[in-house]
Amino acid sequence: MADVIRLSTKTAIESGDADATTYGDRSNGKSKVTVSNETIGPFSESLISPRDLYPLHAERMLLSTALQLLDEGMNYLNDSIGMFDDGDRLGSDDALQHFQALLPELFSCRELGDGFGAIVSSVFHSLKNLDGGPLSGKQLQTLRQIVRRISTEPYISFDEALDELEVLQDAGLEVQPPYFKFAADLLSE
Amino acid sequence: MAPVLDLSQLKPYRATIEVRYDNAYLLWDRAGQIWAKLNERWPKLAMVDANPGMTKFVLDDRFQMVVQLDKCYVIDNRASSTLADFMETGEILVNCVTTNLELSKFTRLGFRLTYIKDFADKTSAAEFLIGTKMMAIPEGKHFNIEGKVLMPRYSLVWEGESTGIRSILEVQSQKIDLEPQIEVIDEIPPFHVEKHRFIYDVDYYTLQPTSRGQLNVKEWISQAYHLIKRDSKVFFGG
């Protein structure tokens, strides 16, 4: 039998399936939408991976390049931390330098978002400001934590990125280029 | 064998983007702020309904926008084949809601797209779907009825670990009766119309939570739309 829509009265249009995305009504407010919130299958608390969320990432140069470089970077950081823990400081620093070499290319993916660009730039300057000096174990862990964050959340907002930069600074890293404070002084004069 | 049906035979009809989240009680403080900001962007935004659990607006008699305690969505009732306006509108609403309700995580993202093909009567619409050979249709007399199939419906849910798709092919008939009040019947004559449609209704959704920093609304819709155009044929028999 046909659905009958009487425009003068309220009608209910059900989606027909539990948990479906809202289907909507057909008369701009004169109808009611009924949607069940039941979920199908077990609810997983772990975040979806960017590769699952964006299944065509391989066809999107920017996202694809960023995810690939971040994967590579995470491997170097894991190696660096592993060797640091084993007392191999030279090996740890070598792996860190490999990670550092990826940062300019990662920065070229900053169109992904302001948050992404801010984090990559700050990590770059944090390492550069060390002027060849080694990172402490805690600093390495912090670095890995932040790189992991943008690996899973490449579209991180600028506000959230600022929170991450505070974590870097709390770990004793200087996230801005050295000339930045002089520029700030000049601007405030 | 090539599928009998393909998307080029259908026209996009309605598109929906919906994001769900855990109850965001800040809605009780900031619903006005959200809509005031959106109203700056879209001066023609018109309120349809507002209560503590839900606010609903309409833009240009085309987009329905709803913000609720646990979800928000945009429905484009005149979806174009590029979905450009829909993607832009969806992104603006979702980003505004995310910022103002201080959401950090979405429990489900859903992108639902409906294609239609109109027919003169429900028999032709049913024959169109039956013609895809996706369903086993009996012939002859059954249940003591020498009948025919009139409202066929084929649906399935295809799920992986992190995303899923619900695909429905069906025939719908709608009867619209407008009966004006007797005082205005001279100015507005009664209106009656019947519509018979073949509908392809596809809902692409996530099963795992998504953080705020993972979501780029335009990119997500664009990729989901591309997948639907690319892979729908596998559900169209053949």
Tell me the per-residue pLDDT of A19-62, one tens digit each, with 9 for 90 and over: 788 876 544 444 444 444 443 444 456 899 999 999 988 888 89
| pLDDT the model gives residue A39 | 38
Mean pLDDT of chain B: 92
Question: Which residues from A are below 8 Å from B219, CB to CB?
Answer: 54, 60, 63, 155
B197–A contact, CB cutoff 8 A? no
Confidence class for position B1, pLDDT limits 50, 70, 90: low
The C-alpha atoms of residue B160 and residue B148 are separated, in whole angstroms, by 36
User: Does position B157 have pLDDT exceeding 60, yes or no?
Assistant: yes
The C-alpha atoms of residue A164 and residue A119 are separated, in whole angstroms, by 8
Residue with tokens 């928000």: B72
The C-alpha atoms of residue A146 and residue A167 are separated, in whole angstroms, by 9
The C-alpha atoms of residue B38 and residue B93 are separated, in whole angstroms, by 7
What is the average per-residue pLDDT within B171-186?
A: 87
Window from A25-34, A167-176, B102-111, B183-192 with minimum mean pLDDT: A25-34
CB A41 within 8 A of CB B214: no
Exposed/middle/buried for residue A31 (C-beta within 10 Å: 0-12, 13-18, 19+): middle
Instruction: Name the 3-class secondary structure at A119.
Output: helix
Torsion, Cα of B32, B35, B40, B45 (10° steps): -130
B30–A contact, CB cutoff 8 A? no
CA distances from B53 to A28, B28, B166 (A): 18, 8, 28
The C-alpha atoms of residue A142 and residue A145 are separated, in whole angstroms, by 5
What is the distance, to the nearest Å, from the Cα of residue A108 to the centroid of all Cα atoms in its chain? Answer: 16
B99 lies in a domain?
A: yes
CB B15 within 8 A of CB A22: no
Question: Which residues from A are below 8 Å from B156, CB to CB?
Answer: none
Q: Which of A56, A150, A155 is facing B215, going by the closest CB pair?
A: A155
The C-alpha atoms of residue B208 and residue B203 are separated, in whole angstroms, by 16
Instruction: Name the 3-class secondary structure at B154.
Output: strand
CB B122 within 8 A of CB B197: no
What is the average per-residue pLDDT within B65-79?
A: 97
Domains of chain A plus CATH, in order, are: 9-42 (no CATH), 50-183 (1.20.120)
Distance (Å) from the alpha carbon of A129 to chain B's nearest alpha carbon: 28
Q: Which of B48, B110, B216 is facing A21, going by the closest CB pair?
A: B110
Confidence class for position B132, pLDDT limits 50, 70, 90: confident
What is the distance, to the nearest Å, from the Cα of residue A178 to the centroid of all Cα atoms in its chain? Answer: 26
What ipTM does the predicted assembly reach?
0.87
The C-alpha atoms of residue A174 and residue A180 are separated, in whole angstroms, by 11
Question: Which residues from B are below 8 Å from A156, CB to CB?
Answer: 212-213
The C-alpha atoms of residue B168 and residue B154 are separated, in whole angstroms, by 6
What is the distance, to the nearest Å, from the Cα of residue B201 to the centroid of all Cα atoms in its chain? Answer: 7
The DSSP string of B31-80 is HHHHHHHHHHH-TT-EEEEEETTEEEEEETTTEEEEEESSEEEEEETT--
Distance (Å) from the alpha carbon of A115 to chain B's nearest alpha carbon: 9
Instruction: Name the 3-class secondary structure at B19.
Output: strand
Confidence class for position A177, pLDDT limits 50, 70, 90: confident
Q: What is the pLDDT of residues A69-81, one digit of tens each?
A: 999 999 999 999 9
CB B58 within 8 A of CB B46: yes
Contact yes or no for B159 and A152 at CB 8 A: no
B205 lies in a domain?
A: yes
Residue of B nearest to A63 (CA): B219
Distance (Å) from the alpha carbon of A75 to chain B's nearest alpha carbon: 21
B192 lies in a domain?
A: yes
User: Does position A14 have pLDDT exceeding 50, yes or no?
Assistant: no
B1 lies in a domain?
A: no
User: Does position B87 have pLDDT exceeding 90, yes or no?
Assistant: yes
The C-alpha atoms of residue B186 and residue B189 are separated, in whole angstroms, by 6
Confidence class for position A15, pLDDT limits 50, 70, 90: very low
Contact yes or no for B18 and A21 at CB 8 A: yes
Q: What is the domain count for chain B?
A: 1
Q: Tell me the longest C-alpha to C-alpha distance in chain A.
A: 79
**B182: which DSSP letter?**
G
B141 lies in a domain?
A: yes
Q: A3-6 and B163-178 as β-strands: parallel, antiparallel, unpaired?
A: parallel
Q: Please, what sign has the CA dihedral across residues A65, A71, A77, A79?
A: negative
Domain interval for residue B183:
7-235
What is the average per-residue pLDDT within B36-48?
A: 97
B2 lies in a domain?
A: no
Rounded to the nearest 5°, which phi and psi values hold at A68?
-65, -45
Contact yes or no for B48 and A29 at CB 8 A: yes
Instruction: Pick the more confident residue, B236 or B65.
Output: B65
| pLDDT the model gives residue B151 | 87
| pLDDT the model gives residue B146 | 84
Interface size between A and B, measured as CB pairs under 8 A: 156
B158 lies in a domain?
A: yes
135-174 of B, contacting A, C-beta below 8 A = 155, 157, 159-164, 166, 168, 172-174
CB A171 within 8 A of CB A129: no
Residues in chain B: 238
